[in-house]
Amino acid sequence: MSEFKTLRGMRDFLPEDARTMIYVEDVARKVARLYGYKEIITPVVESYELLAAKAGDEVRSRMFAFRDLGGRHVALRPEFTASVARLVATTLRNEPKPFRLFCMGSAYRYDEPQRGRYREFWQSDYELVGSSRPEADAEIIMLTDSLMQGAGLKKFTMKVGHVGVIRGILTQERIGEKQQSAIMQLMDKKQYDDAFKLVKNARASEKCLTVLRQLVECSSNDISKMLSRMEKLVENYEKSVAAVENLRQILELVSQSGCKIDATVDAGFARGLEYYTGMIFEPYVPHLDIALGGGGRYDRLVELFGGESTPAVGVAHGIDRIALGMQLKKTALKVEKEKTVMVIPIKEELRSEALKISRMLRDAGVLVEVEVMGRKMAKALEDADRRKMDYAIIVGERELKEGTVVIRDLAKRQQNTVKIDKMADEIR
Ligand code: HAM
């Protein structure tokens, strides 16, 4: 048989890399707990129709979709928001709002693999359901700040926008929603000429084109200046003015909370998914030109899935990308090194005693491995040393008769005999 490899875009995580991923997951879970998000677990496989509904062309065309053995059109989840919206529209429909839900797990997209882009990746996803108020949007941004800080990525920038600004203009110009999405996707990719061609073909006014051009050219590091400029540009489009005002309120709330975020407002920013109706954002770190997360407000998804009209806002962070950001920054993981012990029987007849001793130690919370290769003592000690274990417990016949074992400190190369009921204390 040929040698098997992982599929393109799929990875094995060996202990060192897995440790960083789990570390980021721990930080994400801690943030969920601190902000009151309850963890739920949803299926990896869902109906294609559900996942594709508002995923946007980009994600939709890259879904791992197939027919299952029952002939159902299904797909591996490319994200969590559709599953959460399904739950809100069905099982949770009568629960008192707001609810804060948290999901963590793998997601799948047939993306072109490159640094930070894989076909299987992990997300931590937070959804705040039931509030249309700006403080809910502010919470999602603040929570993202907490996660980035927790992962040691203190220097990050937040790209912020509001889909209502451009949609407001295009709606007033009587351009349909589908066409609007196509235009916004092009603007998001900075393919402005193509975007404006679509706007022109949709018979929008000259004034509209001028406003759109000026909007995407408009940039300033000063958020308040930028928002005022945007507001002035869209003054004849009522809904767009409201969108800019909404964004201003959200960013003011974040800043007034004391959360200092280095944000830049981008008027042409759209994000790939189609369900957004309000504020959108993505965090970035230096030296990585891909977003570490992404989120925003989606007030119409739940009703699209047959639920009541339910406002919601959320974010998903790329666990892989945060881990990559940490590796690039060489951020040390804040993990306490626990003492590790190797239990070695002096001879084969003492195997069961070695297993018994190791159970006693584990019951006392000590991290224990048992020699299972049948090696001679010197070899077994050498191996424990090579693997940087802290102690060896040597199980010998004579000591056992006296209710003792030998504990060897592998770094100091010293050993002494201790009572079995005292060995855990000795190690700690
Ligand atoms: P998204 O921007 O499509 O948003 O994905 C969120 C994050 O997942 C990205 O910023 C990135 O860190 C990570 N990610 C996406 N694709 C890949 C990939 N191929 N390889 C590695 N990482 C990837 C969503 O998924 C929305 N559901 C976010 C949301 C939640 N909006 C509202 N609530």
Taking residue 105's Cβ as centre, other Cβ atoms within 10 Å add up to 16
What burial class does residue 135 get, using C-beta atoms within 10 Å of its C-beta: 0-12 exposed, 13-18 middle, 19+ buried? middle
316 lines ligand 1 (CB under 6 A): yes
The DSSP output letter for 211 is H
Q: Per-residue pLDDT for 386 more than 80?
A: yes
Nearest to 156 by CA among 42, 354, 293: 293
Domain segments of the chain: what residues?
Answer: 15-329, 340-427
Protein residue closest via CA to atom 18 of ligand 1: 117
Poorest-pLDDT segment among 66-70, 176-180, 220-224 = 220-224
54: Cβ contacts below 8 Å, ≥ 6 apart: 82, 273, 274, 275, 298, 301, 304
Per-residue pLDDT of 232-260, as tens digits, reads 999 999 999 999 999 999 999 999 999 99
Nearest to 63 by CA among 45, 46, 77, 47: 77
User: Of all atoms in ligand 1, which is nearest to the CA of residue 297?
Assistant: 32
Please, what's the largest Cα pairwise distance for the chain? Answer: 96
The answer to whether the peptide bond before residue 134 is cis (omega within 30 degrees of 0) is: no
Look over the chain and give the mean of its residue pLDDT values, rounded to a whole number. Answer: 95
Protein residue closest via CA to atom 9 of ligand 1: 293
Which residue of 123, 157, 289, 310 sits with most ligand 1 atoms within 8 Å of its CB, as the best mutation to test the pocket?
123
**pLDDT interval class at 100 (50, 70, 90):** very high
CATH code 3.30.43.10 for 340-427: no
121 lines ligand 1 (CB under 6 A): yes
123 lines ligand 1 (CB under 6 A): yes
Q: Do 15-329 and 340-427 fold alike per CATH?
A: no
130 lines ligand 1 (CB under 6 A): no
Per-residue pLDDT of 330-372, as tens digits, reads 877 777 788 999 999 999 999 999 999 999 999 999 999 999 9
Which residue of 158, 271, 273, 292 sits with most ligand 1 atoms within 8 Å of its CB, as the best mutation to test the pocket?
273
Which residue of 121, 274, 280, 302 sits with most ligand 1 atoms within 8 Å of its CB, as the best mutation to test the pocket?
121
Nearest to 324 by CA among 359, 363, 287: 287
Helix (H) or strand (E) holding 344: strand 340-345
- C-alpha 214/C-alpha 229 separation (Å) is 10
Protein residue closest via CA to atom 15 of ligand 1: 318
Helix, strand, coil tally for the chain in percent (to 5): 45, 20, 35
The CATH H-level (homologous superfamily) assignment of domain 15-329 is: Bira Bifunctional Protein; Domain 2 (3.30.930.10)
